[in-house]
Every structure is written in structure tokens, then in C-alpha cells.
């Protein structure tokens, strides 16, 4: 699947490794259960972890410095646990790498994802970038702080959203 | 973006500026686009549903219903006229005030909705988060800024919570809906213990507010009284602490069963101590500076509320006393429908939206316009919707009450029944709602007729009667001294009676006294329950007190006694 990143559709060069597959070279995304195996890998390439909604981000604490990507999952767009996972990764664990989301989410959730610290979205082939662009530009103000530390607007907790 | 702070003019209401108005317009256009994407098929109905719900649009039994937010129940007269206009143009000439201090329009067309939201936005109103699994309209004390027993005006903090929760990036797809109530008085007029979070403010040592925080209360299928999580939360930690509670809930609340998804179930499953520990762990770990509610922020919000220009009306109480003397009907209304005010010579007036035989909370367009005019004339242009489905004029001169009462009475709004048995809370029931088992409105109307006699109602005194058309409990039957629950009994509408509920500081959950009866049998049974109270009560004892002293048995016997 292509990635939506920085407002552009880019190719995803990462390999999602299944449970029973041997670890390939290159950039790989592993399930949490295979994290230690990945950390001990001899091959070349970067490492990422796929976290399910019920898996705790704290379990990545020690490994985070060696991870380039944490991929959070939406089994369905209504399941909002990934928002809290993403925000925790940024705010509590100070993760500076890429936070990716995959699964079922909507353009209408784009701004929320960004404001919780997500910066890569796995989107279907043929995704209309315009719809996402519009969703991003639609609302230019927010009423609460976020991990993006947007510029304050006026008073209270209002923030300018970048377009 | 244009930013033009201006002096607030609307009493009691947060004044929008250009930034707030722009935001609302952007939100309307976003929804217009979502409706178009639904019609084009880009959004499935399953995907569209939560988006429309978060703009207040429900699909009911016969039509779409639009629930418009009235933040903490406060409206300007101009806003009330806007609601009247919407009722007249897009609905069937009436609206329905709800237990979350909102208003519902029951006969809305989907394709009209973006235009209606646009009209609302022009009046600085919206329907944001009046439904959906998000933080709902924050409710507050209907006497905020006026009540004698108030330690602070809770509307300032309610507005802070409204802004903070609006399109919150992390908490808009929660396991289930989330309701917050805030009171500025120790006397709980907001049912704090029946909310996901209930906040009771008091003055702290340093002159700034502290809050008691209750969590995990609620009605619905599993009624639970909230537990106290914090006793003395400092004002500056209000947002940080609520973030912590919501984060724990969003991460661990159940998502496999919508009937077990409210925070009360999580609090019960973890136990209060474990839940508190998790909240505290989150609170300690978070970037508290980011969420700190600084005094300057509170003051900036407070500055956008205009205050009433009270007059010196020291003579007003004497005028009122004189007018009451010769007019027992007026005196009864003053006694039942007014509340003490901070300012000498003023009082708050509760306008009953429960006339004899009427539909609780329903108000016609003409009545809305009239209430707006009366607010302009008598209460600085400010109105409040109560969670008991009535309307409050917050600041009325006591020497104006007679003239006000006369106009109200001439327009079906003069009923003297606040806090009495015909001040009924009822959900929309099977007349509108797809979830209901039974109709709530006809039985409410019959009970209202049955006890319409003013002398009888006064004799009965304080009695809260709440009616829900199904176990989802939107009519708060568990919190009624007498509750009525609509059920399906072998394909027929039937009603169970609960006794002993109460929503105040001594909150309790009403218990079912026996098997379901037909509508008419239920009305008769309630009449016998009330008769039993009148016979068995001790001097000065309210219904709920007699109920607690005697237990359910004598009332149950009376309810099921047949002639």
C-alpha cells in the first residue's frame, strides 16, 4: 500500500513480515511478538513494529531507540485506541520516529491523526489525494493543545492548524 | 485569519469572535461535503453515521432528528428566535428541550441539514458532538451566575471544557458517549453523581477554585452512582486530569459490547482504586505544562461573558409581598417557580414547559419567540434550558414577577409546578424513537392531567416523576422518586414502576417494585402510591423521605391493590 506522508502519496518500501515468515533483509515491519527476533537480526535494513489496538505502547519502551516506525492499526475506523497510542508514543515515550497507521480510517479523521502524532498513513492504491488535502485544509483552528505544539491563536487553548 | 476581540454584549453567554465564527462555518462546510460524499457513495452509511451523529443528526422512527447544542443550557434571546425560526421553517412548528439542556427537532430532512447548521452558525450555534461516541454537551446548573449558594460561576469552566472537548483529536472515537456535568454550588443541581464525570466546584484556599471529581456514574441499562475520584483538584489541573481520565477510558474501555462500553463499566471492572491508580499514573507521566489551565486562560474566558447591569431594587421584595397577598394563584407560582438570587430584589424564574396534559419539554415556535421577548424585557436577554426540560429566566426583578406571570399564564407557560409531581421528565418514547418499547408521552400526559389540580400538587409537594420508554433510560427513571419504565410485555406496551431514586447529593437508584402494568393501570397505581404517602407521611416529610423510612413494601401493596 502507498503511504500518505507530508501531504504526498509516496511508495512504501517496507516489508510487512507475517507471523510464520523468516526475516528478510531490508526495511521490515514486525508484529510485537517478534520484536526481540528483529532486534537480533544480522541483516541490513531498518526495523519497525506493528502494534495492535490492545497492545501497550509501553512494551516498546526499551526498543524504541532502535525502531524507525511504529505502525498502529485500525480494525475499524470507530475504534479510536490508536489515537491514544500515538499520542502516548510522542508525549510519554518521546518517540521521534515515524508513526504509521494502517487499516480502516477516514479522511475525516486525518487531522485528528496528525494532531496525535501520526505522520504516515497506509492508504489504498488509487487514493484521491484531493479528498485528504481538502480534509486537512478544511478546519484551520483547534481548541486544545496537541503534541504538535501548534502556534497559539488569540487566547485560551486555541491553536492555528497549518495547512 | 481575522482576529478581532470585542467587548462581550450577551449576558451569561460566551461571546464568539471572528475565529470562533470562522470555525463554525468551516464545520458546516465540512458536513455539507460529508453529505455529498454520502450521496455520491464515497462514504458508506456505516462510515457516514458517526459523522452525522457528531453533527447532531439521528435517524429516528419516522424521520431525521437534529439535536442542537445549547452549551450548559445558556441561550441569548436572539438564539432562541433562531430556534423558533428553524422549528417554523424546517420542522412542525415546535421543538423539544432535552435532559442535556439541548433542543431537538424531530422532523428534519437530511438535505436541509447543512442549511440549518449554517443558520445556526450565523447565530453562533451548532450541533457539534450532541451525539456520537465523543464528549457531549457539558451541562451545568440552571441557576449559574445567579444562585445564592454558588461559590463560583460554573459557566466559565463549562465553556473551557466545551472548547477543549470540541473536535478533540484523541477523544472523538471513544468506546461510547461521554457526559460531563459541572456545578458551582455544593448543592448538586446537575446530577453530578449520574455522569461519566461530575464536577462540583468549591473555593480553594488561595482564592482559586478546586473541584470534587466524580466518575463512572450514569443511568442507562446499568444505573451506577459515580464515585469520588478526587476531592480537591486544583483549577489549573482541570484539563490535565480530565485528559488522564479520558486516556485511560479510551485505551481500556470495552469496545466489544456497546452496552458495556461506558466508563462506569470500566471503573467497576478495574475497581475504583485500580482505576484511580491508572489515572494518577497517566497524570504523573503526562506533559502537565502543556495542559495547564493557567489563571490567565480562565480570566480570558471569563472576560468574554457579559454580566447583567443590575439595578438598585431594594423596594422590590416589599412590592412582591404585597402583590402575593391578594393573589393566591400568583403566590403559588412564585413559591414554586422562583429561586433565590445573589442580588437583593432579584430572583430566578423557572418557566414550566409542563402544562397540564402537555408534552414535557415541548415548546412551540410562538412560545420560543415569546420567551425571547420576555428574556429581553425581564432578564437581560438571557435564557437557560434546564436538564429538567424547563426554561429559566435568570435575573428577574421581584417587582416584575406579577407582570411576567400574567403574560406567561396567558400563553400556556404559567404552570406553578416546578419540582412537583407534574414537572415530569419524559423521553420522546415510541412516538419518535426507534429504540423505545413504549410511548412515554401519552402516559406523561395522563399523569399530568391526573394531578393537575394546583392544591393537590402543593399538598403532595416535592416529588420527581421520570419516565423512560425503554431500558436505555433517557427519561432518567432510576433517578426519579417515582420512575416509570416502558417495557414490551408480549407485544403490548407496558410499564414498570421504580421507587426511591434521587439525583442530588444523597443520590440513590430507584428500584423496580413489581411486574409491568398497562398504561391506565400504571396511572392508577401511581395515584395509590401517592395516596399512601399522603396518609403515611410524618409532618414536613417529603415523598422521598417517607419512601426511605418505610421502604417499598407499603407502596408496592398500594400499587398492586385492586378495588
* pLDDT, tens digit (0-9, with 9 covering 90-100), for A16-28: 998 888 999 999 9
- Rounded to the nearest angstrom, the minimum Cα separation between A161 and chain B is 11
Q: Which residues in A lie closer than 8 A to residue B247 (C-beta atoms)?
A: 84, 87-88
Q: Does B3 lie at the interface with A, CB-CB under 8 angstroms?
A: yes
Burial B507-529 (b: 16+ CB within 10 A, else e): bbbbebbeebbebeebbbbbebb
How far, in Å, CA of B90 to CA of B38, rounded? 22
- Rounded to the nearest angstrom, the minimum Cα separation between A139 and chain B is 6
Is B251 in Cβ contact with A157 (below 8 Å)?
Answer: no
* pLDDT, tens digit (0-9, with 9 covering 90-100), for B390-410: 999 999 999 999 999 999 999
Q: Does B169 lie at the interface with A, CB-CB under 8 angstroms?
A: yes
Distance (Å) of CA A156 to CA A91, B118, B548, B555, B558: 21, 25, 47, 53, 57
CB B104 within 8 A of CB B170: no
Q: Which residues in B lie closer than 8 A to residue A88 (C-beta atoms)?
A: 247
Q: Does A27 lie at the interface with B, CB-CB under 8 angstroms?
A: no
pLDDT at B308 over 90: yes
Is A156 in Cβ contact with B300 (below 8 Å)?
Answer: yes
Q: Which residues in B lie closer than 8 A to residue A77 (C-beta atoms)?
A: 47, 50, 173
Q: Which residues in B lie closer than 8 A to residue A83 (C-beta atoms)?
A: 169-173, 250
* pLDDT, tens digit (0-9, with 9 covering 90-100), for B25-62: 999 999 999 999 998 999 999 999 999 999 999 988 88
Distance (Å) of CA B189 to CA B147, B235, B307, B357: 11, 21, 22, 26
* pLDDT, tens digit (0-9, with 9 covering 90-100), for B75-110: 999 999 999 999 999 999 999 999 989 999 999 998
* pLDDT, tens digit (0-9, with 9 covering 90-100), for B55-78: 999 988 888 999 999 999 999 999
Listed in sequence order, the residues at least 6 apart from A115 whose beta carbon sits closer than 8 Å to its beta carbon are: A142, A146, A147, A148, A161, B169
Report how far Cα B466 is from the mean position of its chain's Cα atoms.
13
CATH of the domain at A8: 3.20.20.70
How far, in Å, CA of B196 to CA of B398, rounded? 38
CB B480 within 8 A of CB B422: no
Q: Does A131 lie at the interface with B, CB-CB under 8 angstroms?
A: yes
CB B470 within 8 A of CB B553: no
Is A157 in Cβ contact with B297 (below 8 Å)?
Answer: yes
Q: Does A77 lie at the interface with B, CB-CB under 8 angstroms?
A: yes
Cell of residue A23, nine digits: 526475516
Question: Considering its fold, how many domains does chain A have in total?
Answer: 1
**CA-only gyration radius of chain A, Å:** 16
Please say whether the dihedral angle defined by the alpha carbons of residues B521, B352, B409 and B148, taken in this order, is positive or negative. positive
- Any domain includes A39: yes
Q: What does the pLDDT average to over B281-287?
A: 94
3-class SS at B197?
A: strand
Q: Does B254 lie at the interface with A, CB-CB under 8 angstroms?
A: no
Per-residue pLDDT band at B163 (split at 50, 70, 90)? very high
Q: Does B400 lie at the interface with A, CB-CB under 8 angstroms?
A: no
E strand or H helix that includes residue B143: none
Is B167 in Cβ contact with A139 (below 8 Å)?
Answer: yes
Residue A1: what pLDDT?
Answer: 87
CB A150 within 8 A of CB A160: yes
3-class SS at B392?
A: strand
DSSP one-letter string for B80-133: HHHHHHHHHHHSSSEEEE-TTS-EEEEEE-GGGHHHHHHHHHHTT---TTSSSS
Domains and CATH numbers, chain B: 18-122 (3.90.480.20), 154-302 (3.30.413.10), 425-560 (3.30.413.10)
* pLDDT, tens digit (0-9, with 9 covering 90-100), for A97-154: 999 999 999 999 999 999 999 999 999 999 999 999 999 999 999 999 999 999 999 8
Give the residue, B202 or A82, on which the prediction is more confident: A82
Residue A142: what pLDDT?
Answer: 97
Listed in sequence order, the residues at least 6 apart from B499 whose beta carbon sits closer than 8 Å to its beta carbon are: B481, B482, B483, B510, B511, B513, B529, B547, B552, B555, B556
How far, in Å, CA of B237 to CA of B249, rounded? 18
- Any domain includes A156: no
Q: What does the pLDDT average to over B206-219?
A: 92
Residue of B nearest to A80 (CA): B173
Listed in sequence order, the residues at least 6 apart from B464 whose beta carbon sits closer than 8 Å to its beta carbon are: B419, B423, B425, B479, B480, B481, B482, B501, B502, B503, B544
Residue B208: what pLDDT?
Answer: 85
Q: How much of chain B exceeds pLDDT 70, in percent?
A: 99
Helix B365-378 × helix B77-90 angle, to 10°: 170
Q: Does A81 lie at the interface with B, CB-CB under 8 angstroms?
A: yes
Mutate to test the interface with A, among B170, B177, B299 (most CBs of A within 10 A): B170
Q: Does B40 lie at the interface with A, CB-CB under 8 angstroms?
A: no
How far, in Å, CA of B144 to CA of A55, rounded? 44
User: Nearest Cα to A145, choosing from A87, A96, A102, A101?
Assistant: A87
Burial A113-127 (b: 16+ CB within 10 A, else e): bbbbbbbbbbbeeee
DSSP 8-state secondary structure symbol assigned to residue A56: -
Mutate to test the interface with A, among B169, B279, B293 (most CBs of A within 10 A): B169
Q: Does B236 lie at the interface with A, CB-CB under 8 angstroms?
A: no
CB B534 within 8 A of CB B459: yes
Q: Does B284 lie at the interface with A, CB-CB under 8 angstroms?
A: no
Residue A154: what pLDDT?
Answer: 86
CB B133 within 8 A of CB B176: yes
Residue B203: what pLDDT?
Answer: 85
Burial class (CB in 10 A: 0-12, 13-18, 19+), A12: middle
> Whose grid coordinates read 490508536?
A82
Q: Does A103 lie at the interface with B, CB-CB under 8 angstroms?
A: no
3-class SS at B215?
A: strand
Per-residue pLDDT band at B2 (split at 50, 70, 90)? very low
User: Nearest Cα to B192, choosing from B171, B209, B214?
Assistant: B214
Q: Which residues in A lie closer than 8 A to residue B171 (C-beta atoms)?
A: 80, 83
- Rounded to the nearest angstrom, the minimum Cα separation between B159 and chain A is 11
ipTM of the complex: 0.97
- Any domain includes A157: no
How far, in Å, CA of B480 to CA of B500, rounded? 7
Is A140 in Cβ contact with B297 (below 8 Å)?
Answer: no
Domain span at A16: 3-131
Cell of residue B132, nine digits: 456520537
How far, in Å, CA of B168 to CA of A144, rounded? 7
Report how far Cα B41 is from the mean position of its chain's Cα atoms.
37
Residue B9: what pLDDT?
Answer: 82
- Any domain includes A85: yes
> Whose grid coordinates read 472548547?
B163
Most confident range, picked from B40-44, B218-222, B534-538 = B534-538
pLDDT at B524 over 90: yes
Burial class (CB in 10 A: 0-12, 13-18, 19+), B325: exposed
- Rounded to the nearest angstrom, the minimum Cα separation between A51 and chain B is 13
Q: What does the pLDDT average to over A86-107?
A: 97
- Any domain includes A142: no
Is A156 in Cβ contact with B301 (below 8 Å)?
Answer: yes
Q: Which residues in B lie closer than 8 A to residue A127 (C-beta atoms)?
A: none
How far, in Å, CA of A40 to CA of A128, rounded? 39
pLDDT at B310 over 60: yes
Residue B7: what pLDDT?
Answer: 62
Torsion of CA B473, B476, B477, B480, to 10 degrees: 170
Give the residue, A163 or B367, on which the prediction is more confident: B367
How far, in Å, CA of B83 to CA of B105, rounded? 9
Per-residue pLDDT band at B3 (split at 50, 70, 90)? very low
Is A154 in Cβ contact with B290 (below 8 Å)?
Answer: no
Cell of residue A96, nine digits: 521521534
Mutate to test the interface with B, among A80, A94, A152 (most CBs of B within 10 A): A80
DSSP one-letter string for B311-333: ---TTHHHHHHHHHHT-HHHHHH
Q: What does the pLDDT average to over A58-86?
A: 97
Cell of residue B487, nine digits: 417495557
E strand or H helix that includes residue A48: strand A47-51
Q: How much of chain A exceeds pLDDT 90, in percent?
A: 90
pLDDT at B4 over 50: no
Q: Does A93 lie at the interface with B, CB-CB under 8 angstroms?
A: no
Cell of residue B43, nine digits: 462514504
Residue B504: what pLDDT?
Answer: 85
Is B250 in Cβ contact with A81 (below 8 Å)?
Answer: yes
E strand or H helix that includes residue B240: helix B238-252
DSSP 8-state secondary structure symbol assigned to residue B14: B
Q: What does the pLDDT average to over B186-211?
A: 91
Is B42 in Cβ contact with A138 (below 8 Å)?
Answer: no
Residue B322: what pLDDT?
Answer: 97
- Rounded to the nearest angstrom, the minimum Cα separation between B23 and chain A is 6
Cell of residue B242, nine digits: 480530565
- Rounded to the nearest angstrom, the minimum Cα separation between A141 and chain B is 6
DSSP 8-state secondary structure symbol assigned to residue B438: S
- Rounded to the nearest angstrom, the minimum Cα separation between A47 and chain B is 25
Please say whether the dihedral angle defined by the alpha carbons of residues B83, B85, B89 and B92, taken in this order, is positive or negative. positive
Q: Which residues in B lie closer than 8 A to residue A143 (C-beta atoms)?
A: 23, 163-164, 166-167
Amino acid at each position: 500500500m502507498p503511504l500518505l506522508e507530508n501531504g504526498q502519496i509516496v511508495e512504501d518500501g517496507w516489508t510487512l513480515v507475517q507471523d510464520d515468515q523468516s526475516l528478510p533483509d531490508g526495511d521490515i515491519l514486525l508484529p510485537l511478538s517478534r520484536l526481540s527476533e528483529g532486534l537480533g537480526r544480522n541483516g541490513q535494513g531498518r526495523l519497525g513494529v506493528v502494534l495492535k489496538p490492545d497492545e501497550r505502547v509501553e512494551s516498546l519502551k526499551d526498543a524504541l531507540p532502535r525502531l524507525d516506525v511504529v505502525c498502529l492499526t485500525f480494525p475499524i475506523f470507530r475504534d479510536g485506541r490508536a489515537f491514544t497510542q500515538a499520542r502516548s508514543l510522542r508525549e510519554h515515550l518521546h518517540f521521534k520516529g515515524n508513526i504509521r497507521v494502517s487499516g480502516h480510517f477516514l479522511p475525516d479523521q486525518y487531522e485528528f491523526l496528525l494532531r496525535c502524532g501520526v505522520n504516515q498513513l497506509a492508504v489504498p492504491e488509487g487514493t484521491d489525494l484531493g479528498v485528504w488535502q481538502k480534509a486537512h485544509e478544511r478546519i484551520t483552528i483547534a481548541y486544545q493543545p496537541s503534541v504538535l505544539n501548534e502556534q497559539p491563536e488569540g487566547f485560551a487553548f486555541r491553536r492555528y492548524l497549518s495547512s | 485569519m481575522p482576529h478581532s476581540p470585542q467587548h462581550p454584549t450577551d449576558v451569561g453567554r460566551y461571546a464568539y469572535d471572528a475565529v470562533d465564527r470562522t470555525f463554525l462555518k468551516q464545520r458546516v462546510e465540512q458536513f455539507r461535503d460529508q453529505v455529498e460524499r454520502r450521496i455520491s457513495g464515497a462514504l458508506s452509511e456505516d462510515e457516514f453515521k458517526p459523522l452525522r451523529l457528531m453533527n447532531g443528526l439521528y435517524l429516528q422512527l419516522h424521520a431525521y432528528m437534529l439535536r442542537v447544542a445549547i452549551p450548559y443550557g445558556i441561550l441569548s434571546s436572539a438564539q432562541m428566535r433562531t430556534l423558533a425560526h428553524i422549528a417554523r421553517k424546517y420542522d412542525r412548528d415546535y421543538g423539544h428541550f432535552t435532559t442535556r439542556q439541548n433542543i431537538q427537532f424531530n422532523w428534519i430532512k437530511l438535505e436541509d441539514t447543512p442549511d440549518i447548521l449554517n443558520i445556526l452558525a450565523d447565530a453562533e450555534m451548532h450541533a457539534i458532538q450532541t451525539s456520537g461516541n465523543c464528549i457531549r454537551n457539558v451541562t451545568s446548573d440552571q441557576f449559574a451566575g445567579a444562585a445564592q449558594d454558588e461559590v463560583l460561576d460554573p459557566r466559565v469552566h463549562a465553556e473551557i471544557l466545551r472548547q477543549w472537548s470540541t473536535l478533540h483529536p484523541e477523544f472523538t472515537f471513544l468506546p461510547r458517549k461521554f457526559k460531563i456535568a459541572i456545578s458551582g454550588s455544593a448543592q448538586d443541581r446537575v446530577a453530578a453523581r449520574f455522569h461519566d464525570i461530575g464536577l462540583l466546584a468549591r473555593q480553594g484556599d488561595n482564592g482559586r477554585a478546586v473541584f470534587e471529581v466524580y466518575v463512572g456514574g450514569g443511568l442507562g441499562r446499568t444505573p451506577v452512582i459515580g464515585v469520588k475520584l478526587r476531592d480537591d483538584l486544583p483549577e489549573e489541573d482541570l484539563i490535565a486530569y480530565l485528559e488522564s481520565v479520558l486516556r485511560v477510558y479510551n485505551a481500556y474501555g470495552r469496545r466489544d459490547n456497546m452496552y458495556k462500553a461506558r466508563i462506569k463499566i470500566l471503573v467497576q471492572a478495574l475497581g475504583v482504586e485500580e482505576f484511580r491508580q491508572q489515572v494518577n499514573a497517566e497524570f504523573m507521566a503526562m506533559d502537565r505544562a502543556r495542559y495547564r489551565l493557567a489563571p490567565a486562560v480562565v480570566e480570558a474566558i471569563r472576560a468574554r461573558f457579559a454580566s447583567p447591569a443590575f439595578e438598585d431594587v431594594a423596594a422590590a421584595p416589599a412590592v412582591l409581598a404585597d402583590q402575593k397577598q391578594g393573589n393566591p394563584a400568583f403566590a403559588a407560582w412564585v413559591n414554586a417557580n422562583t429561586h433565590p438570587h445573589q442580588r437583593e430584589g432579584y430572583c430566578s424564574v423557572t418557566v414550566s414547559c409542563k402544562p397540564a396534559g402537555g408534552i414535557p419539554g415541548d415548546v412551540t415556535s410562538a412560545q420560543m419567540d415569546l420567551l425571547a421577548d420576555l428574556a429581553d424585557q425581564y432578564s437581560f436577554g438571557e435564557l437557560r434550558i434546564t436538564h429538567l426540560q424547563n426554561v429559566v429566566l435568570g435575573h428577574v426583578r421581584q417587582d416584575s414577577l406579577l407582570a411576567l406571570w400574567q403574560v406567561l399564564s396567558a400563553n400556556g407557560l404559567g404552570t406553578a409546578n416546578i419540582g412537583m409531581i407534574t414537572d415530569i421528565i419524559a423521553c420522546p418514547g415510541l412516538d419518535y424513537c426507534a429504540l423505545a418499547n413504549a410511548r412515554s408521552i401519552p402516559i406523561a400526559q395522563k399523569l399530568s392531567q391526573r394531578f393537575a389540580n394546583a392544591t393537590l400538587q402543593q399538598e403532595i409537594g416535592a416529588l420527581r416523576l421520570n419516565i423512560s420508554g425503554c431500558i436505555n433510560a433517557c427519561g432518567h427513571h432510576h433517578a426519579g422518586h417515582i420512575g416509570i419504565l416502558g417495557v414490551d410485555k408480549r407485544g403490548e406496551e407496558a410499564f414498570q414502576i421504580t421507587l426511591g431514586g434521587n439525583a442530588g447529593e444523597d443520590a440513590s437508584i430507584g428500584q423496580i417494585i413489581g411486574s409491568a402494568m398497562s398504561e391506565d393501570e400504571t396511572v392508577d397505581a401511581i395515584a395509590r402510591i401517592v395516596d399512601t404517602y399522603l396518609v403515611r407521611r410524618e409532618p414536613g416529610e417529603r415523598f422521598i423521605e417517607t419512601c426511605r423510612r418505610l421502604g417499598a413494601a407499603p407502596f408496592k401493596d398500594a400499587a398492586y391493590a385492586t378495588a
